[in-house]
Amino acid sequence: MNTVVEVSSTPGQVSVDPRFGASSRKAKAGRRPSRLILGLRAFGRDKMAVAAAAVLIIVVAAAALAPVLSPYDPVVGDSARRLEGIGSEGHPLGLDGQGRDILSRLIWGARYSLTVAIVPVLAVLPIALLIGLFAGYVQGRVGGVLMRVLDVLFAFPLVLLAIALAAVLGAGLGNVMLAIGISLVPYMARVAYTSTVQESSREYVEAARAGGARTGEILLKELLPNVVSPLLVYATTLCGLMVVLAAGLSFLGVGIVPPTPDWGIMTADGSSVLLEGRAHVATIPGLAILVVALAFNLLGDGLRDALDPRKQTT
Amino acid sequence: MLEIKNLSVEFHTDGGVVHAVRHVDLTMGEGEIRGLVGESGSGKSVTAMTILGLLGTRRARISSGQILVNGRNLLELSPAELAKVRGRQLGLVSQNALSALDPSFTIGSQLMEVIMWHRKLSRSEARKEALEALRTVSMPDPEHKLRAYQHQLSGGQRQRVVIAMALAARPQILLADEPTTALDATVQKQILDLLLQINQEFGTAILMVTHDFGVVAHMCHTVTVMRRGEVLEEGTAKHVLESPTHPYTQALIAAVPRLHAHDQAAAVPRAERRLHVFQEAAL
Amino acid sequence: MIAMIGRRVMSTLMVLFGVSLVIFLLLQLVPGDPARTILGAGATEDAVAAVRAELGLDQPLPVQFLGYLQGLITGDLGRSLTINQPVTEIIIPRFQNTMVLSAAALVICVVVGIPLGILAARRQYGIFDRIAMFTSLAGASVPVYWLGLMLIGVFALNLGWFPTSGMSNPRNPEGGFGDLLSHLVLPAFAAALVPLAVIARMTRSVMVDTMEQDYIRTLRAAGVPERSIIWKHCLRNAMPPIVTVVGLQIGYLLGGVIFVEVVFSWPGLGYQLYTAITQNDMPLVQAGVLFIALVFVLVNLLADTTVGLLDPRTRRKVTA
């Protein structure tokens, strides 16, 4: 009976450390499984999220095994057979405007497209966490100034900021990642900041403070674990958004430079032959971007639900 | 008038099926005030919400039973039919008085909407009725209050408005789900007395969901004690208060502060007398 | 209320000051010498130095920034390096074109996105909800530039329903409203899709939260019909966060519109920005970025004020 939740009682009325659900109070039917296991179980039941994770694993594996898997050289083409369509002999996904095998470019492209998108997100995660925790809990003058600076960066739409930075820094793998990373800081820091402020006013933090815990202890032991979850969920979703954006920068010519097989460059290649009536060159890489972005979004949704103690128990 | 037969409600959770309400039977006559008592998790609130068809979660399933209001089984009604029963035959006074009113509309506009919908009145007539409804619940300065938003009212005043809304279409039964928990101690008694007064004035039956036997002693004619989704015992308030058979009931009664002891003795006979009058009137 | 708007205006001015500083500093990151860009590779050192002095580039940075700020206030954003015109004169007509496209896209977002979210919320986890939410998640994942290409391929090249690019028919530039509309349909839809999907999802989630509120239960228990519960009470209470989200999505729209303008050769600010970037025309890039940021800041000021006005207490803090 430990899981009965009174229908009329609003969630959040009892302020328990959200890492443990409201029902962790005295379980009668044996010990409650750990939070990780509960989370995994909840995640496992979400068929969409599991499918998304599977898609991403396949894409990452393909990217890693590109030298083995790709049937042709991604940058050398056979100009005699240029623009042959899907299902042509030896080239299941056809050839592009320079006679290069699209499947091979797609597989190699996964390497660049994923790297450019995911590395900045992972790199900014700890920075954002630091800014958010500091500005959100310690506050003070430095925290205030930090948030003002972020406010200014918020005046630039993410896509615009990334394009402007990429344009200013110049094309190339490293510069694109830097441009995307800088553009991400305000967004990720705000998520960390908001949840820090929210969590700080919860009773378990007050209890720790009343119990004489030092600021550092509260930040690390109490706040960090509860702030990390929403940030991780957000980061997963951002990975999807960044795959789209990074490819977009390459599409505009301010990202990765040709002939590197990046999905954005492939789409741009396709746009120039679209008027010749060859749609497959642009269609295929765009679909790849869409599928990967959607997979990250679904994964993010699944993680959010799995990490939500309310959804774990009820 | 209200008859619950063999009601069972399950919640389907990831940890398995939870039987929140198990084979509960409950009857209420005209003008009866019945206490539905138990701890949180006993299924008392779930029972009340099931009657209203407001369980509000897709994980809840009514696995057996009937809820008859004047002989009609509510569980077989369409959503539109059920919406007509709500307000006209059943009213709800919920426990979160502080958040029970729409913050974006004035008190008057909410009251008028309910009145106009049920009684098909014009705006100006509905306005008069809304004013009358606020007077009924002894709202101070009712004309001014019609134009107020909920955040401009105190907790007790908000609960009075909730009661006025629940009564707007003159329901026969009021479901009061711990109506005083969110309120200050001094206001609690005022609200309970208001409910008593409504019961006497209009003959409205009240299902009083509470964990507090003090409330039972103060105003209930009959009482049903629930634990873990099951009915443990029931009877007249006097009988159960004086000679509870189940140890759980004894513990609940013992939990009432001694201060109430005096009230208990005094209140029971009064409640008994009232019930008697209403039951005769119902015949 | 007036005090709140006053505070917001003040902080907006501070943000705008910060924005101009950031844009100014951004320009300092550009490798290469603008003077040399103007004169070309063969110029003599003396000529370069002369142009540097003319542009004020020999001054220390803070002085340069003050000069830049002064220019901003008087509407002088410098001259384009590639088109021999003041930047402002180039930008304003382009900006108007961008506003036409963005406004059309915004209308689609709001008119489709919000009702979609409400209908999905009405039957949470129902078939419609599941389909709508999966579709909008997919919609939110679509690369705009690719969507533009696909729309051109299908609706312009294959079906021939709409023109492939531009804002007007070159043979008949005064084609009137109908002509503009036919040029507008595809790019507006392309620009609208992602924010539309996000608005639909957010609307749904805010509506679902609102539907679980106690006051909604009170109204239901009082027998108020479902139509009024959803479209009057829930929607009204869900409005503040929805307005905030729409305001933020306008930011996404203003960014995404750059891709759309490039794909459809729409003669707007984004397309201009793109050409300026490829030609390394930094004053033009600077001014373009500044304009978009300015619009975004003003839109958010407007959204915040609206949210404030929507709240009967008018003091509720908005956490975006």
pLDDT of residue A297: 92
CATH architecture of A61-311: Orthogonal Bundle (1.10)
Q: Is the pLDDT of residue C259 over 60?
A: yes
Helix, strand or coil for residue C143?
Answer: coil
CA distance B129 to B109: 12
Find the range with the poorest average confidence among A18-27, B62-71, C149-158, C216-225: A18-27
Query: What's the angle, vertex CA B273, arms to CA B272 and CA B279, rounded to 5?
Result: 90
pLDDT of residue C320: 33
For residue C165, give the nearest of C147, C189, C183 by alpha carbon.
C183
CA distance C285 to C276: 6
CA distance A183 to A157: 9
pLDDT of residue C175: 66
Q: Which of A167, A169, A267 sits opposite C146 (nearest CB)?
A: A267
In this predicted model, which residue has the larger pLDDT, C68 or C103? C103
By residue count, chain A amounts to: 314
Radius of gyration of chain B, Cα coordinates, nearest whole angstrom: 19
Mean pLDDT of all residues in chain A?
Answer: 79
Q: What is the pLDDT of residues B165-178, one digit of tens each?
A: 998 888 999 999 98
Question: Hey, how many other C-beta atoms are within 10 angstroms of the C-beta on A233?
Answer: 21
Which chain A residues are closer than 8 Å to C27 by Cβ?
168
Q: Which of B49, B59, B229 sits opposite A8 (nearest CB)?
A: B49
| Amino acid at position A178, single letter | L
CA distance C134 to A302: 13
Helix, strand or coil for residue A194?
Answer: helix
What residues are paired with B226 via a beta bridge? B231
Give exposure, A175-188, as e/b (b: 16+ Cβ within 10 Å): bbbbbbbbbbbbbb
**Nearest residue of C to residue B101, measured between CA atoms:** C215
How many Å separate Cα B96 from the centre of its chain?
13
Q: Is the pLDDT of residue B281 over 50?
A: no
Q: Is the pLDDT of residue C103 over 60?
A: yes
CA distance B14 to chain A (A): 6
Q: Is C197 on the interface with A (CB under 8 A)?
A: no
Find the range with the poorest average confidence among A222-226, C11-15, C124-128: A222-226
Q: What is the pLDDT of residues A57-82, one digit of tens each?
A: 999 998 888 888 778 777 777 777 77
**Alpha-helix residue ranges (DSSP H) falling in B43-184:** 44-52, 79-88, 107-119, 123-136, 142-146, 155-167
Which chain A residues are closer than 8 Å to B95 by Cβ?
8
pLDDT of residue A8: 32
Report yes or no: B196 and B208 within 8 Å, Cβ to Cβ: no
By residue count, chain C amounts to: 320
Radius of gyration of chain C, Cα coordinates, nearest whole angstrom: 24
Q: What is the DSSP string of A160-193?
A: HHHHHHHHHH-SSHHHHHHHHHHHHHHHHHHHHH
The secondary structure of residue A33, as a DSSP letter, is P
Does this model's pTM top 0.90? My answer is no
Identify whether A120 is preceded by a cis peptide bond (ω within 30 of 0): no
Q: Is the pLDDT of residue C69 over 60?
A: yes
Report yes or no: A267 and A286 within 8 Å, Cβ to Cβ: yes
Question: Residue B269: which pLDDT band, with cuts at 50, 70 and 90?
Answer: very low
CA dihedral A215, A217, A221, A223 (to 10 degrees): 10
Question: Can you tell me the mean pLDDT for B56-83?
Answer: 84
With CB atoms and an 8 Å threshold, state whether B18 touches A4: yes
Report yes or no: B134 and B111 within 8 Å, Cβ to Cβ: yes
pLDDT of residue C233: 93
What residues are paired with B192 via a beta bridge? none
Question: Hey, how many other C-beta atoms are within 10 angstroms of the C-beta on C32?
Answer: 10
pLDDT of residue B266: 46
CA distance B25 to B5: 5
Question: Can you tell me the mean pLDDT for A271-299?
Answer: 87
Q: What element of type H or E holds B227?
A: strand B222-227
Q: What is the pLDDT of residues C150-160, one digit of tens each?
A: 998 888 888 88
Q: What are phi and psi of C278, to 5 degrees?
A: -65, -25
Q: Which of C220, C226, C312 sits opposite B103 (nearest CB)?
A: C312
- C-alpha distances in Å from residue A118, one per residue of A58, A245, A268, C198, C230: 16, 11, 21, 22, 40
CA distance B2 to B28: 5
Which chain C residues are closer than 8 Å to B166 by Cβ?
221-222
pLDDT of residue B112: 93
Find the range with the poorest average confidence among A13-22, A286-295, C123-132, C159-168: A13-22
CA distance C51 to C57: 8
In this predicted model, which residue has the larger pLDDT, A66 or B136? B136
Q: Which of B91, B102, B169 sits opposite C237 (nearest CB)?
A: B102
Which chain A residues are closer than 8 Å to C293 by Cβ?
155-157, 160
pLDDT of residue A69: 79
Residues 182-221 in B contacting A (C-alpha not used; CB under 8 Å): none
Question: Residue A236: which pLDDT band, with cuts at 50, 70 and 90?
Answer: very high
Which chain C residues are closer than 8 Å to A294 by Cβ?
137-138, 141
Residues 6+ apart with CB under 8 A from B34: B26, B28, B205, B206, B207, B208, B220, B221, B222, B223, B224
Find the range with the poorest average confidence among A101-105, B3-7, C211-215: A101-105
Report yes or no: A208 and A226 within 8 Å, Cβ to Cβ: no
Domain range list for chain A: 61-311
Q: Which of B41, B60, B99 sits opposite A6 (nearest CB)?
A: B41
Which chain C residues are closer than 8 Å to B92 by Cβ?
217-218, 221-222
What residues are paired with B68 via a beta bridge? B3, B73
Question: Can you tell me the mean pLDDT for B150-168?
Answer: 90
Q: What is the pLDDT of residues A96-124, one digit of tens each?
A: 777 788 788 888 888 888 998 899 999 99
CA distance C153 to C148: 9
Pairing of strands B16-28, B2-13: antiparallel
Question: Hey, how many other C-beta atoms are within 10 angstroms of the C-beta on B247?
Answer: 9
CA distance B206 to B171: 10
Task: Please give the ipTM for the structure prediction.
Answer: 0.85
In this predicted model, which residue has the larger pLDDT, A26 or C243? C243
In this predicted model, which residue has the larger pLDDT, A64 or C320? A64
Q: What is the DSSP string of C235-270?
A: HHHHHHHHHHHHHHHHHHHHHHHHHHHHHHT--SHH
Mean pLDDT of all residues in chain C?
Answer: 84
Question: Can you tell me the mean pLDDT for B249-261?
Answer: 71
CA distance A167 to chain C (A): 6
**Ramachandran area for residue A214 (φ above 0: left; ψ -120 to 50: alpha; else beta):** beta
| Domain C93-319 top-level CATH class | mainly alpha
Question: Can you tell me the mean pLDDT for A168-194?
Answer: 89
Q: What is the pLDDT of residues C120-136, one digit of tens each?
A: 998 888 889 999 999 99
Find the range with the poorest average confidence among A96-105, A267-276, B171-180, B271-280: B271-280
**Nearest residue of C to residue A179, measured between CA atoms:** C26
Query: What's the angle, vertex CA C136, arms to CA C133 and CA C137, rounded to 5?
Result: 85
Question: Hey, how many other C-beta atoms are within 10 angstroms of the C-beta on B80?
Answer: 9
Question: Can you tell me the mean pLDDT for A40-50?
Answer: 81
Q: Which chains touch C (3 or more CB pairs under 8 A)?
A: A, B
Domain range list for chain C: 2-74, 93-319
Q: Is the pLDDT of residue C142 over 90?
A: yes
In this predicted model, which residue has the larger pLDDT, A244 or A7? A244
Q: Is the pLDDT of residue C109 over 90?
A: yes
CA distance B52 to C223: 10
pLDDT of residue C315: 45
Q: Is the pLDDT of residue B280 over 80?
A: no
For residue B280, give the nearest of A127, C73, B272, A212 by alpha carbon.
B272
Question: Can you tell me the mean pLDDT for A198-213?
Answer: 80
pLDDT of residue A146: 84
Question: Can you tell me the mean pLDDT for C22-35?
Answer: 76
Mean pLDDT of all residues in chain B?
Answer: 84
pLDDT of residue C171: 66
CA dihedral A49, A55, A58, A61 (to 10 degrees): -70
Q: What element of type H or E holds B37?
A: strand B33-37
Q: Is the pLDDT of residue A1 over 80?
A: no
Q: Which of C31, C149, C157 sits opposite A271 (nearest CB)?
A: C149
Question: Residue A312: which pLDDT band, with cuts at 50, 70 and 90?
Answer: low
Report yes or no: A280 and A82 within 8 Å, Cβ to Cβ: no
With CB atoms and an 8 Å threshold, state whether B162 touches C218: yes
Question: Hey, how many other C-beta atoms are within 10 angstroms of the C-beta on C181?
Answer: 13
